[in-house]
Amino acid sequence: MFRLSSRCLRKSVPAVRKAAFPSFPCSALASAHCRHASTIASLPSKSRVGTIFTALILLGAASTAYGLYEFYTMFTIWPKEVRGDLRAGIKARSQEDLGLSERFLRRALDTAHNLPLEAFGSDPYLKLSGIAIALAGVLEDNNKPREAYDTYVDSLTKLRQASGLSSQERLRAVAVAHKLGEMAETYQQPAIEEEQWLVYAVEELLRILRDENISTQLAMPTHDADEEHKTVIAELELPKWVEKTDVIAPLQALGAFYNRTGKQEYAVPLYLSALNVLLPPGNKNTSAENKCRGADLMNSLADSLLLGAPTPERRHQAEAWVDRALSTIEKTQHDSKNDPEGSVHCELVLAAALFNKGSMREMAGDLESAKSSYLESRKQSYLLKQRDGIIQADTAIRRVDRLSK
């Protein structure tokens, strides 16, 4: 019996796991530049062209000068010993010279590790780990996943060994551990290695939640600290997973890991904990985005309950969670008509939940209801242009048709 998760629908082609580190294939970086030419008849007069051309040259010169000034006035929050290498490394990366970028960023990181922490001002480990993440990103983009992985490991080790970390620095450790868990899965590392990173991320996250008394978003730091944090992210052009304080992702990732490895009894409490954090009882101010993510968790929880050899009781519980997911999606979409962006995640979850509803009706022998849900899932996947969802729904519909004869 097939089941569908919204994770499967986020890409229109089947996800392909990358080869393990030793045999990771190199892929060429390619960029395409399109030039469009006007016809002779559409060109303005020669004198006008000359005027426009002159104006563009002057504007271009001014813009270039301003851009250079702006670029070289950046990185002022960094110790002067690393500013030059950071500027050069980020510039080389923007020009797709990954080898040169790696050299500058590696030298910046080595220099930074030899400076006293006081040189970095507040939250020094945010800045140190930021350089490491920038370097690791370049390495991964340059088809050096093992070196990228080791750079993340070294950064996390330093964060774990440090004392007196701020809440933001502790969350950075959670984010890096979560990233390592993702890389361990992507590059086919031993399951025990993926598990250790995700378990640490979840355990540290729960400690932070306990210590800081926070829910889905960390209590904001002081204005100056928050602005400096944003500056670090912007200047180093760090990835989104660094920027976003997402306390649900590690719980969800570890739950998915246990589902994948046949330990669904561990996944269920993780999903329940994530739901409790994301949708706390009695909270009427939950955002549309979080409600949609909650529906996603409910669907994942139903998946967990159906893995292995589910008892009739577990099947009943799973269907109840899918029904709750569908109800949450319907209400969220109705309540957020004026905020369609807030409920966009619900569209993906809807296709998966409808498919799983069909699967449960099929297991119960209610083939007519099963086909109806599969058809609705297919329609939703078609609207989203999600090839995987369409294929799975078509397969399920044909199967139900055969069983109905």
Who's near 194: CB < 8 A, 6+ residues apart?
181, 184, 185, 257
Q: What local confidence, expressed as pLDDT, does residue 243 receive?
A: 60
CA distances from 237 to 91, 138, 241, 357 (A): 11, 11, 12, 42
Span 71-247 CATH architecture:
Alpha Horseshoe (1.25)
pLDDT at position 33 is 35
Confidence bin at 31 (pLDDT 50/70/90): very low
Dump pLDDT digits (tens) for 98-114. Answer: 999 999 999 999 999 99
4-293-225-214 Cα dihedral, nearest 10 degrees: -120
Per-residue confidence band for 328, with pLDDT thresholds at 50, 70 and 90: very high
Q: Once rounded to an integer, what is the mean pLDDT over residues 157-170?
A: 92
Provide the residue count of the chain. Answer: 405
Domain spans of the chain, in order of start: 71-247, 261-405
* Secondary-structure percent of the chain, ordered helix, strand, coil, rounded to 5: 75, 0, 25
Q: Answer whether 6's CB lies under 8 Å from 348's CB.
A: yes
End-to-end CA separation in angstroms for the chain: 19
**Residue 281: what residue type?**
P
Cα distance between residue 226 and residue 228, in whole Å: 5
Weakest-pLDDT range from 27-31, 235-239, 285-289, 343-347: 27-31
Average pLDDT over residues 9-24: 49
**How far apart (Å, rounded) are the C-alpha atoms in residues 120 and 227?**
15
- pLDDT top residue among 6 and 302: 302
Burial (0-12, 13-18, 19+ Cβ within 10 Å), 242: buried
Worst-scoring range by mean pLDDT, 40-54, 122-136, 199-213, 247-261? 40-54
| Predicted pLDDT at 6 | 62
Q: Of 23-27, 139-143, 156-160, which range is least confident?
A: 23-27
Q: How far apart are CA 268 and CA 10, in angstroms?
A: 23
Q: What is the mean pLDDT of residues 55-65?
A: 46
Global pTM reads: 0.74
CB-based contact 136:151 (threshold 8 Å): yes
**Is domain 261-405 in CATH 3.90.180.10, yes or no?**
no
Q: Taking 70 as the threshold, does the pLDDT of residue 64 lie above it?
A: no
Of the chain, the percentage scoring pLDDT greater than 90 comes to: 56
Q: Which residues contact 254 (CB under 8 A, 6 or more apart)?
A: 181, 195, 198, 199, 201, 202, 267, 270
Better-predicted residue by pLDDT, 310 or 98: 98
Q: What is the mean pLDDT of residues 294-299?
A: 94
Cβ burial of 82 (10 Å; 0-12, 13-18, 19+) is buried
